[in-house]
Structure 1
Amino acid sequence: MKDNNALGIQYLQEGKYEEALAAFSKEIEENPENAVAYVNFGNVLSAVGELEKAMKFFERALEKDDAIGTAHYGLGNVYYQLEKWNEAKDQFELAMKKGVNDSDIFFMLGMTLLQFEQPKLSLPYFQRAVELKPEDAEARFQYGMCLAGLGLIKEATAEFEMVVEEDSMHADAYYNLGVAYAYQENREKALENLDKALDVQADHMLAAHAKKILTEEN
C-alpha cells in the first residue's frame, strides 16, 4: 500500500486536489516533522491559487528542515506568480544551492531573469533546461527567443525548428521562425511559417502583420 505522501503526489498529478490535500494532511498529522509533506501540501495550495497559504507551508517546511531545497523552489514559484521577481530569483537560487537541479528550476530562473529584460543572463539557464529535458518545447522556445534577442538568428532558427517538431501547435514558434527566415532573406520559408502560425491561431496579429509586410514587398 502506498504511503500518504506517494498517494498525495499521485492525486496531485491527476489533478485531484482535494484528495491530494487529504493525503498530505494525514501525512502531516501522522509525521509532523516530515518537511516533505509540508512542501507537498504547499504545492497543492499553489496549484489551486491559494498562494498566501502555500507560502506558509513552504516556510513551515524550512522550519522543520532548512536544507530542503524544494521548499525554496515552491516559494520561488509563489513569488513568480505574485510578480515579485527579486524574491523569486533569490528563492530559486537558494533552491539550486540546496540541491534542486532539474530542468524546471533552470527554466523558472530563466523566466524570472527575463522579467529584468536581460536575455543574456537568462540564456544559460534556458540552455541548461533544454539539455536536461530536450523534449521541453517551451524551454526550447524561450532559449530560441534569447538567441534571437542577442542577434544569433541562425542558432535561433534551429531551435524554433525543433520546437515546432515537438509541438506542431506552437503558433508563436512558427511566427518567430517566419521572422527569422525573413531576416535571412528567405521569403518563401518566412511566408510558409507565418501561414502555419495563422493556421494554428487565426487571430495571431503579429503573424498577420508580418505576412502583410512581406506580401506587400513583392
Structure 2
Amino acid sequence: PKATSALFNRGTDWSNRGDYDRAIADFNIVISLEPSASDAFSSRGSAFLRKGKIDAAMLDFQQAIEADPQNGDAHTGLGTAWSKTGERDKAIAEYDKAIRIDPADFIALVNRGLAYAAKDEFDRAIADYDAALAVDPRSADAYANRSAAWIG
C-alpha cells in the first residue's frame, strides 16, 4: 500500500504538471497492483481525457464507478467525457450523481450548468452557476457562464 500510495501521488503530481503520459504510466502501475483502486482509475481517466482519449477515459471512469459507486470525481469525469461526445443528457445524469454524493462539487455544478446551457435550459444552468458560486464566490468562470446564461 505504501508503494501504491507513493506512485498514486507521483502520478497526481505528473498530471498536475501536464505530463499526462508519465501520470498514466504511474496510474497503470497502481492499477496493476490494486485492480480495485477506484481513485487510480478515475485519475487515469482524467489524464486520458486531457489527452483527448475520450473512449479510454470513459472506460476508466466506468471502472472507477464500478469499484466505488460513491466516487464523485469519477461521475464528474464521466459526465465531462459524455459532454465532449455531445451526449448532454448522459452528462447531466452523471453530474447529478456526483452532486448527490457531494452537493458542493464545484466542477460538477459548473459542468452541469454548461450542459444545461448547451440544451438552452438557461434557468437550470443559472441555478447551477448560483450553487457553484455559493461554493466559490470568487470564480470568474462561474460568473461569466451565469452572465452568458442570463443573455441566453
Same-fold call, TM cutoff 0.5: yes
Identify which of 49, 53, 63 aligns with 1:50: 53
Instruction: List gaps (5 residues or longer) in structure 2.
Output: none
Percent identical pairs in the alignment equals 21
* Highest RCO, 1 vs 2 (Cα 8 Å, sep ≥ 6): 2
Is the contact made by 1:76 and 1:91 (CA closer than 8 Å) also made in structure 2?
yes
1:107 touches 1:139 (CA, 8 Å); kept in 2?
A: yes
Q: How does 1:53-202 map to 2 (within 5 A)?
A: 53-99=56-102, 101-149=104-152
1:33 is aligned to 2:36: yes
Deviation at 1:135, TM superposition (A): 2.8
Amino acid at match of 1:106: L
Pick the structure with greater CA Rg: 1
Q: CA RMSD in A?
A: 1.7
Per the TM alignment, residue 145 of structure 1 is displaced from its structure 2 partner at its CA by 2.5
Matching residue of 1:170: none
Q: For 1:163-182, what per-residue CA distance to the aligned partner results, in whole angstroms no more than 9, with x for missing partners?
A: xxxxxxxxxxxxxxxxxxxx
Runs of 4+ in 1 over 6 A off after TM superposition: none
State the TM-score, normalizing by the size of structure 1.
0.64
Task: Output the CA distance in 2 between the equivalents of 1:73 and 1:102.
Answer: 9
Aligned residues: 149
Asked if structure 2 preserves the Cα contact closer than 8 Å seen for 1:70 and 1:100, the reply is no
**SS where residue 116 of structure 2 aligns?**
helix
Is 1:22 paired with 2:10? Answer: no
TM-score with structure 2 setting the length: 0.90
* Cα-to-partner distance string for 1:110-137 (whole Å, 9 max, x where unaligned): 0011112121111111112122223321
* Structure 1 residue 67 displacement after superposition: 2.1
Conservation of the 8 A alpha-carbon contact between 1:69 and 1:100: no
Deviations 1:43-81 (A, max 9, x none): 100110000111111111122122222211111000011
- SS of 1:3's equivalent? helix
Asked if the contact 1:12–1:44 (Cα under 8 Å) also holds between the matched residues in 2, the reply is yes
Query: Whole-Å Cα distance in 1 between the matches of residues 110 and 24 of structure 2?
Result: 27
Q: For the residues of structure 1 that align with 2:63 and 2:107, how far apart are their CA atoms?
A: 23
